[in-house]
């Protein structure tokens, strides 16, 4: 059996499994045992997806969700990255911020929604604040432990070769902790993605994928809901695979750190 | 770390006491500083007191609600919902994961579905579940179970696949039947992964549950309490609720799983 056929086999099985699930679902939907408004057929979900794409509402919803996620994520990185690195490098800063972070971390980001609604009002500011809160902690903890995990031997070697504090930072500490920073970014995005959908439902902001799903419930449009769910899953999947996968290949994998880390 | 431990053990009692006091003070300091800043901002009345209450108002709200039994009732209902949803996910998830790990056909059928469902944020399913199962407890428990099942399935599956083939063959050679093989080799061998999955599942269940309680209009529950308090601008009640949520989250993280791990895999020498 050639290598190509070997690689194709799981793909064929995956397709079989998805097809089977689709057939079972379609059979249930068409059997009439459940109301079609609650369990729409695949054709009507696809139709809802198509309508949304054609009249341009779905892209606008998706873009406003992405805008909130990316802005909140950027804000979180802006706070967490410098703070995490400082915590990893300087003992007193670590001693001050670590207890605070461990106390705030177990509070789910959605628990802040009502409070943020009162403070910032309905709309974008609340959603972005919630996203930022959700994303800050994974980033912070990973930056902190990444800096601490840099091999002390490398630091001493760089020092012995006469590296200044600035060179040490850019040439040793940043690349050395990069696998952790990437892992933090990944986790932060996942959390942010959950938070934005929840925040959009609760903070009713007229646009956004979370809001369509919530709004569709009022009108019993299960097909619109499922179409929006598919888009949410697709964007999350695309970020996970394409963006973070590419980032990893371009940096740590090219520097040979992933293999070194595993070996 | 070890040298510190032995130094502490050999030090006289008074010195050990002062070291412990020192760590306690170091942990408390940041909270005191942040608390003081909060008090100053609150008392300067930069923001309206209704929106930014001083700490003593929050504490008195907490005390009032605790004494009247409202807060404990909310908290108990939330924990009950969490436990029932999570128990559902643990039973179903571990079962599916083991079946996927042992039988090729089940793996091929289930894996694409599981990996498609996993990246969708659980809260996005909430309105769908509300539509299907109605407002209230049933849909919130089912949703919590559904969401926390994914990491449990994934990790159980990985754990069963990670059981060393040599162990299985050795057990078979020594005449273990299927049941013995499962109880004595596969389950203990996969347990570190299963526990990781359970821990991740519980964390996810906790994060989702608070949001679901706000959406599902349940009669009692911490999420509902803080969301309802918004209508009356009761910021102090909200903040007291957030504190309780944080405390429960911390207890789940530190208390439950650390114990379970110490009791099983650490004791068996599979993890340190």
Tokens of B88: 């559902």
Kindly indicate the confidence band of residue B2, based on its pLDDT and cuts at 50, 70 and 90: very low
Measured in degrees and rounded to the nearest 5, phi and psi for residue B163 equal: -65, 130
Q: Which two tokens stand for residue A251?
A: 């940096």
Question: In chain B, what's the furthest Cα-to-Cα distance?
Answer: 77
Return the pLDDT at B43: 84
In chain B, DSSP assigns E strands to none
- Chain B residues near residue A99 by CB distance under 8 angstroms: 27, 30-31
Q: State whether residue A97 sits within 8 Å of chain B by CB.
A: yes
pLDDT of B13? 63
Contact B223 A110 (CB under 8 A): yes
Contact B75, B175 (CB under 8 A): no
A97 interaction partners in chain B (CB closer than 8 Å): 30
Contact of A237 with A87, CB cutoff 8 Å: no
First-last CA distance in chain B: 15
What is the C-alpha to C-alpha distance for residues B177 and B171, in angstroms, rounded to an integer?
9
Question: Residue A5: its pLDDT value, please?
Answer: 52
Kindly list the distances between the CA atom of residue B193 and the CA atoms of A191, A219, B200, B236, B270, in Å, as whole numbers in the listed order.
22, 43, 11, 41, 11
- pLDDT less than 70: residues of chain A: 1-10, 204, 256-263
> What pLDDT is stored for residue B1 in this prediction?
37
Beta strands in chain A (DSSP E): none
Identify whether the C-beta of residue A109 lies closer than 8 Å to the C-beta of residue A203: no
Task: State the average pLDDT over residues B229-247.
Answer: 87
Mean pLDDT across the stretch B258-269? 70
Question: Given this model, what pLDDT does residue A1 score?
Answer: 41
User: Given this model, what pLDDT does residue A255 score?
Assistant: 73
With CA atoms as reference, report the closest residue to B140 among B198, B217, B72.
B217
Tokens of B225: 């309490």
B122 near A CB under 8 A? yes
B 79-118 residues inside an 8 A Cβ radius of A = 108-113, 116-117
- pLDDT at residue A8, as a whole number: 60
Q: Do B239 and A115 touch (CB under 8 A)?
A: yes
Query: A115 and B245: CB-CB below 8 Å?
Result: no
pLDDT digits (tens, 9 = 90+) for A168-205: 888 888 888 888 888 899 889 988 998 999 898 888 67
Residue of B nearest to A213 (CA): B127
What is the longest distance spanned by two Cα atoms in chain A?
A: 77
Place of tokens 């909270």: B31
Q: Using one digit for the tens of pLDDT, what is the confidence trace for B154-165?
A: 999 989 988 888
Which comes out higher in pLDDT, residue B261 or B101? Answer: B101
Q: Check residue A78 and give its pLDDT.
A: 95
Under 8 Å CB pairs connecting chains A and B tally to 150
- Look at residue B8 in the predicted model and tell me its pLDDT: 45
Question: What are the residues whose beta carbons fall under 8 Å from the beta carbon of A144, sequence distance 6 or more?
Answer: A84, A85, A87, A88, A94, A98
For range B49-68, the mean pLDDT:
87
Residue pLDDT, tens place only, A135-162: 999 999 999 988 988 888 888 888 888 8
ipTM: 0.79
- Residue B23, chain A, CB below 8 Å: the answer is no
Reported confidence tier of residue B175, pLDDT bands at 50, 70, 90: confident
Averaged confidence pLDDT in chain B: 83
Least trusted range by pLDDT, from B19-33, B87-101, B142-156, B255-269: B255-269
Report pLDDT for B227: 87
Q: Are A196 and B109 contacting, i.e. CB atoms less than 8 angstroms apart? A: no
pLDDT digits (tens, 9 = 90+) for B3-36: 444 444 455 666 677 788 888 888 888 888 898 9
Give the pLDDT score at A137. 93
The rounded Cα A145 to chain-centroid distance in angstroms is 20
How confident is the model at residue B95, as a pLDDT? Answer: 93
CB B215 within 8 A of CB A201: yes
Interface of B with A in 204-223 (CB under 8 A): 206-211, 214-215, 222-223
**B203: nearest CA partner in chain A:** A106
């Amino acid at each position: 059996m050639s290598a190509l056929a070997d690689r194709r086999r799981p793909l064929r099985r995956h397709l079989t499994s998805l097809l089977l699930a689709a057939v079972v679902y379609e059979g249930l939907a068409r059997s009439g045992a459940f109301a079609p408004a609650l369990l729409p057929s695949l054709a009507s979900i696809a139709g809802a997806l198509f309508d949304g794409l054609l009249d341009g509402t779905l892209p606008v919803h998706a873009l406003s969700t992405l805008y909130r996620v990316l802005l909140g994520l950027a804000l979180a990185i802006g706070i967490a990255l410098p703070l995490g690195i400082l915590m990893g490098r300087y003992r007193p800063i670590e001693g001050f911020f670590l207890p605070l972070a461990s106390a705030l971390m177990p509070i789910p980001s959605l628990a802040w929604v009502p409070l943020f609604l009162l403070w910032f009002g309905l709309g974008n500011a609340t959603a972005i604040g919630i996203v930022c809160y959700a994303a800050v902690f994974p980033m912070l903890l990973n930056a902190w432990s990444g800096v601490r995990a840099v091999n002390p031997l490398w630091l001493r070697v760089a020092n012995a070769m006469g590296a200044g504090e600035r060179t040490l930072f850019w040439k040793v500490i940043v690349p050395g902790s990069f696998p952790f920073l990437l892992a933090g970014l990944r986790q932060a995005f996942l959390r942010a993605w959950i938070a934005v959908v929840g925040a959009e439902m609760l903070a009713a902001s007229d646009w956004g994928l979370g809001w369509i799903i919530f709004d569709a419930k009022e009108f019993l449009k299960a097909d619109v809901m499922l179409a929006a769910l598919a888009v949410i899953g697709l964007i999350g999947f695309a970020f996970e695979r394409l963006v973070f996968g590419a980032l990893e290949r371009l940096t740590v994998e090219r520097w040979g750190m992933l293999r070194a880390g595993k070996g | 770390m070890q040298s510190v431990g032995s130094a502490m053990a050999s030090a006289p009692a008074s010195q050990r006491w002062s070291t412990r006091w020192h760590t306690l003070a170091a942990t408390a300091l940041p909270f005191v500083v942040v608390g003081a800043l909060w008090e100053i901002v609150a008392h300067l009345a930069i923001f309206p007191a209704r929106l930014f209450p001083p700490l003593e108002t929050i504490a008195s709200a907490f005390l009032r609600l605790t004494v009247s039994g409202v807060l404990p009732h909310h908290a108990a209902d939330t924990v009950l919902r969490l436990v029932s949803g999570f128990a559902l996910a643990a039973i179903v998830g571990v079962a599916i994961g083991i079946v996927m790990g042992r039988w090729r056909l089940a793996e091929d059928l289930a894996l694409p579905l599981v990996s498609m469902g996993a990246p969708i944020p659980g809260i996005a399913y909430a309105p769908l579940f509300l539509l299907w199962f109605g407002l209230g407890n049933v849909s919130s428990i089912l949703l919590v179970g559904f969401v926390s099942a994914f990491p449990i399935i994934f990790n159980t599956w990985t754990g069963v696949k990670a059981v060393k083939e040599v162990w299985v063959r050795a057990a078979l050679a020594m005449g273990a039947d299927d049941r013995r093989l499962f109880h004595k080799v596969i389950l203990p061998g996969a347990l570190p992964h299963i526990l990781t999955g359970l821990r991740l599942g519980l964390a996810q269940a906790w994060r989702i549950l608070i949001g679901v309680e706000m959406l599902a209009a349940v009669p009692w529950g911490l999420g509902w309490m803080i969301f309802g308090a918004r209508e009356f601008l009761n910021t102090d009640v909200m903040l007291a609720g957030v504190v309780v949520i944080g405390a429960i989250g911390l207890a789940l993280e530190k208390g439950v799983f650390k114990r379970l791990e110490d009791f099983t895999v650490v004791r068996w020498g599979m993890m340190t």
